[in-house]
Amino acid sequence: MSQLVLFAIDICAVVLLVFGLYFPRHRRRDLVVAYLGVNIGVLAVASALSSSNTGAGIGLGMALFGVLSIIRLRSTELDQHEVAYYFSALALGLLGALSTSALWLNGGLMGLIVLVMFLGDNKKLFRHYRHQVLVLDSAITDHVTLVAHLEQLLDARVHSVTVQRLDLVNETTTVDVRYALTERALTTAPTTPAHSGARR
């Protein structure tokens, strides 16, 4: 009976994670299917393996899901927050499948996962901070000049700049920049630079 309760908690948790948090915030439909499929798949297989009373079978099953996860993550481009949702869905499935006498422990851990994702993926958290790859229409070799140019271009404070490509022939500079928008830029400017001289 306790196992059925865990299944129900897992289904409620993953529905809340996907339809209450992820989709309203990010609107990527294809990952909705992926998260639900991973969660229910892990729940089903881990439950079947745990009922066989073979520790080796459980270990092999978990290793298999780890390999499949790596393959899945390498087969398409995912942002880091999407990777976090992916592993959260997987962890919920595992917790729902583990037989335990302390039902509240598994249920509490599932709730903790959902709570952490709710807080960590909140857009109000570090809302000033941005990360972009920009292509500048000039070749800038001096780091101090590059930072000053980016701060003026983005109306922001630049925290980190990595030059990915410096093309002296075509006079372009490709940079990976992490910055914090000023309060004025946050309220008046779009999230992508509207100035001339840079393109994503």
Given 95, 120, 145, the domain boundary residue is 120
- What's the rounded mean pLDDT across residues 2-28? 93
Summarised one tens digit per residue, pLDDT across range 142-196 is 999 999 999 999 989 999 999 999 999 999 999 999 999 887 766 665 544 434 3
Q: Are 24 and 61 members of one domain?
A: yes
Contact present, 86 and 34 (Cβ < 8 Å)? yes
Residue 15 main-chain phi, psi, to 5 deg = -65, -45
pLDDT at 38: 86
pTM (predicted TM-score): 0.73
* Separation CA 11–CA 42 (nearest Å): 12
Residues 113 and 135 in one domain: no
One domain for residues 142 and 165 = yes
pLDDT of residue 195: 41
Asked if 85 and 137 sit in the same domain, the reply is no
Q: Is the pLDDT of residue 86 over 70?
A: yes
Q: What tens digit of pLDDT does each residue of 98-125 get?
A: 777 778 889 999 999 999 999 999 888 8
Mean pLDDT of 17-27: 95
Last residue of a domain, one of 120, 149, 170: 120
Residues 111, 137 within the same domain? no
Burial class of residue 23 in the structure, from the number of CB atoms within 10 Å of its CB (0-12 exposed, 13-18 middle, 19+ buried):
middle
32-84 pLDDT, tens per residue? 998 999 899 888 878 877 766 555 455 555 656 665 665 565 656 778 888 88
Residue 117: its pLDDT value, please?
96
Whether residue 43 contacts residue 97, with contact meaning beta carbons closer than 8 Å, is answered with yes
Q: Which residues pair with 174 in a beta bridge?
A: 135, 165
- Structure confidence at residue 172 (pLDDT): 95
CATH number of the domain that residue 182 is part of: 3.30.70
User: Do 51 and 94 lie in a common domain?
Assistant: yes
pLDDT at 196: 38
Task: Of 119, 127, 147, give the one whose Cα is nearest residue 191.
Answer: 127
130 vs 139: CA distance, rounded Å: 23
* Res 41: pLDDT: 85
Tell me: do 74 and 149 sit in the same domain: no
Number of domains in the chain: 2
For range 1-6, the mean pLDDT: 82
Range of the domain at 14: 2-120
Last residue within a domain, chosen from 86, 120, 154: 120
**29 and 102, same domain (yes or no):** yes
Which residues touch 46 (CB under 8 Å, ≥6 apart)? 58, 61, 62, 65, 93, 94, 97, 98
